[in-house]
């Protein structure tokens, strides 16, 4: 969840990595990006290099300050390491070399950034594979539940996006993958999530929204989710269960597409119901 109190701090790494910081788990990590960034920066060790993916300015300032105080050399993805945000195939320009011909199976610019960040970490410890191996990994790797499109009829995308930042990435993925489709979005989330912000971002890419309850003590009430979505979307329905919502797939036509998002719990349940087992 954090960094300062993370169990991995018992280890002395060869390189540390900090991915984009967002307002999440604020109850434990703090109410501001600066506070959360300070917690995340707790993984930085004395004189151990750290690779930092793209950050908002306030988070970047905190991470940079902590790294400087520990004499830990920083590699900033987007500045010291760059990558093509458009075009196929694309390239990653590391500090020591460039890797060309990358065609990532995973969708979204954020996944390109993640891939570049992973390569930058390997570059710091002198372990970047050959270009052919990098290309093979890029072409074959998927992360279940991250803009994952199942070969159902109609197609169904599963994504665990549960912050406004990840919702923005998902919205772009929906636009690219389901252009011209009538999108039905099935949603549920935990009680500590920014449902109003998420709904505002995803509303423009969905023609229909189905709110479902989620099991567990951290689940947000269906009333609160329905109210948040109803403020920004005209076609919001409720379903008693995720199973009941997904039963509607069989009545969909060739111009339809479905998206299940908002929670790891929800996406995991959808995988089971749709007969998908992660490798």
Residue 29 scores a pLDDT above 90: no
Six-digit token pair at 3? 């960094």
- The phi, psi pair for 57, rounded to 5°, reads -55, -40
CATH superfamily of 7-140: Mur-like, catalytic domain (3.40.1190.10)
Averaged pLDDT, 184-202: 95
Higher-confidence residue of 165 and 2: namely 165
Torsion of CA 112, 79, 34, 58, to 10 degrees: -120
- As assigned by CATH, the class of the 148-273 domain is alpha beta
Length of the chain: 279
CA distances, 64 to each of 121, 123, 209 (Å): 17, 20, 41
Write out pLDDT tens, residues 2-22.
Answer: 688 888 888 899 999 999 988
Going from N- to C-terminal start, the domains of the chain cover 7-140, 148-273
Q: What is the pLDDT of residue 1?
A: 64
Using a pLDDT cut of 90, give the percent of the chain over it. 76
**Burial grade of 172 (CB within 10 A; 0-12, 13-18, 19 or more):** middle
């093979």: which residue's tokens? 136
Angle at the Cα of 48 (from 45 to 50), degrees rounded to 5? 90
Averaged pLDDT, 96-124: 93
| Selection from 208, 231, 211 nearest residue 222 by Cα | 211
Query: Do 191 and 220 contact (CB within 8 A), yes or no?
Result: yes
Q: What is the pTM of this model?
A: 0.83
CA–CA separation, 277 and 275 (whole Å): 7
């Amino acid at each position: 969840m954090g960094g300062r109190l993370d169990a991995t701090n018992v280890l002395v790494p060869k390189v540390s990595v900090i991915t984009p910081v967002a307002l999440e788990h604020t109850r434990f990590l703090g109410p501001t990006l600066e506070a959360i960034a300070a917690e995340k920066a707790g993984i930085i060790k004395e004189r151990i290099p750290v690779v930092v993916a793209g950050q908002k300015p306030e988070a970047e300032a905190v991470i940079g300050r902590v790294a400087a105080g520990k004499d830990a050399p920083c590699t900033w993805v987007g500045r010291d390491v760059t990558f093509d945000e458009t075009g196929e195939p694309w390239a990653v320009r590391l500090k020591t070399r460039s890797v060309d011909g990358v065609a990532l199976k995973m969708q979204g610019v954020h996944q390109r950034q993640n891939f570049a960040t992973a390569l930058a970490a390997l570059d710091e410890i002198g372990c970047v594979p050959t270009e052919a191996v990098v290309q093979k990994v890029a072409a074959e790797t998927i992360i279940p539940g991250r803009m994952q499109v199942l070969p159902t009829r109609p197609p169904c995308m599963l994504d665990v996006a549960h912050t406004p930042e990840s919702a923005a990435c998902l919205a772009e993925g929906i636009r690219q993958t389901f252009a011209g489709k009538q999108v039905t979005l099935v949603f549920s989330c935990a009680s500590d999530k920014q449902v109003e912000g998420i709904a505002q971002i995803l509303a423009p890419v969905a023609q229909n929204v189905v709110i479902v309850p989620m099991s567990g003590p951290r689940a947000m009430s269906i009333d609160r989710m329905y109210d948040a979505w109803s403020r920004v979307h005209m076609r919001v329905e409720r379903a008693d269960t995720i199973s009941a919502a997904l039963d509607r797939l069989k009545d969909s036509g060739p111009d339809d597409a479905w998206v299940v998002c908002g929670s790891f719990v929800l996406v995991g349940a959808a995988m089971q119901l749709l007969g998908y087992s992660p490798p």
